[in-house]
């Protein structure tokens, strides 16, 4: 396709788009299945589709995939079942991709709690101004790319240069 041809020089694919799913956050027992399906579409299937599309170019250049995930993928936060399950699926897909594609790097990164519209939607009416801005995570992501750290799961807070 023309899109794939234009990606011939692709070195890094960043999958950052995400959706919280149902908000306010319902218990998993009450989670609307349509909202759950939408969360999996956005948080898992869309990144996998982009990876499939651009993998030939990434292999050719020894590129990398960076998937933005969440601690909700590995911690049992009440109300976060839909989002967390989708992010857990993205993490496992990343883990498998890293095993299957040793010629590229695959990183999945938990950026931490950030001051975003999505995070605010999870906590309606609460003041989240104490959370750091998303830009504070950029140095951690740059370090991954510049140092070509091994494939794996990282927390942004552990990567920020001293």
Catalytic-role residue among 31, 77, 83, 154: 83
DSSP code of 23? S
Tokens 């933005």, residue? 68
Cis check for the bond before 104: say yes or no (omega within 30 of 0): no
83 noted as active-site residue = yes
Cα 112 from Cα 71, distance rounded (Å): 7
Cα 138 from Cα 141, distance rounded (Å): 5
* Residues classed as catalytic: 83
């Amino acid at each position: 396709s023309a899109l794939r041809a234009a990606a011939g020089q692709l070195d890094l694919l960043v999958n950052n788009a995400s959706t919280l799913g149902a908000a306010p956050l319902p218990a998993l027992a009450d989670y609307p299945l349509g909202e759950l399906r939408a969360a999996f579409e956005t948080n898992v299937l869309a990144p996998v589709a982009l990876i499939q599309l651009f993998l030939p170019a990434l292999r050719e250049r020894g590129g990398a995939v960076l998937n933005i995930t969440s601690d909700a993928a590995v911690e049992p936060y009440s109300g976060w079942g839909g989002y967390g399950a989708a992010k857990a699926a993205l993490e496992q897909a990343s883990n498998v991709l890293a095993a299957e594609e040793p010629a590229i790097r695959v990183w999945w990164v938990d950026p931490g709690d950030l001051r975003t519209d999505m995070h605010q939607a999870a906590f309606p009416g609460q003041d989240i101004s104490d959370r750091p801005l998303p830009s504070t995570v950029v140095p951690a992501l740059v370090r991954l790319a510049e140092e070509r750290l091994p494939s794996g799961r990282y927390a942004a807070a552990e990567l920020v240069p001293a």
